[in-house]
Amino acid sequence: MILTNKKSVNAGPSFGTGEGVAHSKRWYVALVRMHHEKKVSEYLDKMGIENFIPLQQEMHQWSDRRKLIESVLLPMMVFVHADPKERVEVLSLSTVSRYMVMRGESNPAVIPDEQMARFRFMLDYSKEAVCMSSSPLARGEQVRVIKGPLSGLVGELVSVDGKSKIAVRLNMLGCACVDMPAGYVESIKAVV
């Protein structure tokens, strides 16, 4: 015989809204004050809200020394993975001005999970500096990286200034590009 106390029934953690409607988390771009990206990230971490700042290390040269510094790839932007309630909480921070919106719309623009995953993968594993380009690139051939630290990354092969680059598109932000030898990629055949 199994005895249960109806008042102490615990079904485990609940990540719903409590209103019978489940809201999934989505990626948004929060626009922040100049040079406040890391501070906003710290605040969001304390609030328990997942966030991401694209950082990369660069060698800076001064007249008397060289130093490896960590720089923000997209100034004044912090990626926030939030549900609707958390999205409103983020705006309560004084250093967050608003969310990026699509032209002609009022709702915050959503970055698809797949694009964010590819962008983060590129930043994490690229040995070369990643550059952001807001200029529209002509659609190139879909390729998959087969060699090197970015192995498995899917993107477009483009040519910029005569160099082969692989590009990962991010809606509204343009694309992230990294130098890639042509021998490191294979074509992905279009499925018809």
CB 113 within 8 A of CB 27: yes
CB 186 within 8 A of CB 153: no
Same domain, 105 and 32: yes
Average pLDDT over residues 20-26: 71
> Do the domain assignments include residue 15?
no
Same domain, 155 and 186: yes
What CATH number corresponds to the domain at position 161?
Answer: 2.30.30
Q: Is a pLDDT exceeding 60 seen at residue 12? A: no
Same domain, 102 and 151: no
Same domain, 103 and 126: no
Same domain, 56 and 37: yes
Q: What angle do CA 87, 85, 114 make, to 5 degrees?
A: 55
- What's the number of domains the chain is made of? 2
Name the domain boundary from 89, 111, 133.
Answer: 111
> Do the domain assignments include residue 175?
yes
* Structural domain for 127, as ranges: 113-192
Nearest Cα residue to 142 out of 91, 179, 191, 90? 191
Give the percent of the chain with pLDDT over 70.
77
Same domain, 41 and 78: yes
Query: What single letter denotes the amino acid at residue 106?
Result: S
pLDDT in the model for residue 182: 66
CB 77 within 8 A of CB 37: yes
pLDDT in the model for residue 23: 65
Same domain, 148 and 89: no
- For the stretch 87-118, pLDDT in tens is 999 999 999 999 999 888 889 999 999 989 98
Name the domain boundary from 46, 77, 111.
Answer: 111
Same domain, 29 and 95: yes
Nearest Cα residue to 178 out of 111, 119, 102? 119
Name the domain boundary from 52, 76, 111.
Answer: 111
Q: Is a pLDDT exceeding 70 seen at residue 5? A: no
Same domain, 79 and 138: no
